[in-house]
Amino acid sequence: MNNPVFIIVPCYNEAVIIRQTINSLLDLGYTVVVIDDASTDNIQQELAGLSIFYIRHPVNLGQGAALQTGIDFVLKRDAAYIVSFDGDGQHDAKEIKGMVDILIDEKADIVFGSRFLTGASSDSSSLRKLLLYAGRYVNYLFTGILLSDAHNGFRAMNSKAAGAIRLKENRMTHASEFLLEVKRKGLRFAEYPVHIRYTNYSKKKGQSLFNSIRIFFDLVLNKIFE
């Protein structure tokens, strides 16, 4: 595998869709690292025979911890570019190249995928769009960075950014922690329009209103006690 792009796929109970997701990445020649966050389904069986790196957490720690495990792993293997890619089939592997091109051509350290830029698309519900829109300003309040899409798991970074960012928030608050780290470390960032496919399966796995409220309070506590 000579492709300098490593794809980190954090997953928890994604056996239904994970093989299809991983094959879409392998078909494009990427090196894939799956971080199984203590799944209780048969995800290992679904991944059998695939040419990937597989790491399993013995206990469920959350997506932030899974991403940090993956980042630490690929940096030890001299990854030049690292992409976080959800395991639930929402993201389009063909868009990775465009994000990495921005890292190379525009000298960005990290590129955030956005559902709301010109050229992007998603079939989000009205409630989800409202939550995401409000999330932009909540994140801006605490991070000083106003993205068009503050909670998108599709992002690409160079090794400099990956080495500088340390995720301490294990669960979904890590999306905001990325922005805090970008601000603190003076990293150069950009956005890239992406297409998000919401299936019945991914909607069931998606972020609830309760989780969105919990993220808000996690951010408040993080700001108070930083």
Q: What torsion, rounded to 10 degrees, do the Cα atoms 172, 35, 101, 151 define?
A: -10
Sequence spans of domains, the chain: 5-225
What whole-number distance in Å separates Cα of residue 218 and Cα of residue 214?
6
Asked if 33 and 76 count as a contact pair (C-beta separation under 8 A), the reply is: no
- What superfamily would CATH give domain 5-225? Spore Coat Polysaccharide Biosynthesis Protein SpsA; Chain A (3.90.550.10)
User: For residue 130, what are its two tokens?
Assistant: 């409202």
Question: Mind listing the pLDDT tens digit for each residue in 39-82?
Answer: 999 999 999 999 999 999 999 999 999 999 999 999 999 999 99
Q: 115: closest CA among 98, 90, 139, 97? A: 90
The 10s digit of each residue's pLDDT in 27-42 is 999 999 999 999 999 9
The amino acid at 72: D
State the maximum Cα–Cα separation within the chain, in Å, rounded to a whole number.
47
CA–CA gap between residue 84 and residue 165 (Å, rounded): 13
Residues 6+ apart with CB under 8 A from 178: 110, 112, 155, 165, 167
User: The tokens of 51 are what?
Assistant: 């040419």
pLDDT by 10s per residue, the chain, length 226: 457 999 999 999 999 999 999 999 999 999 999 999 999 999 999 999 999 999 999 999 999 999 999 999 999 999 999 999 999 999 999 999 999 999 999 999 999 999 989 888 766 667 766 777 777 787 788 788 999 998 899 999 999 999 999 998 765 578 888 998 999 999 999 999 999 887 666 556 655 444 544 544 454 445 434 5
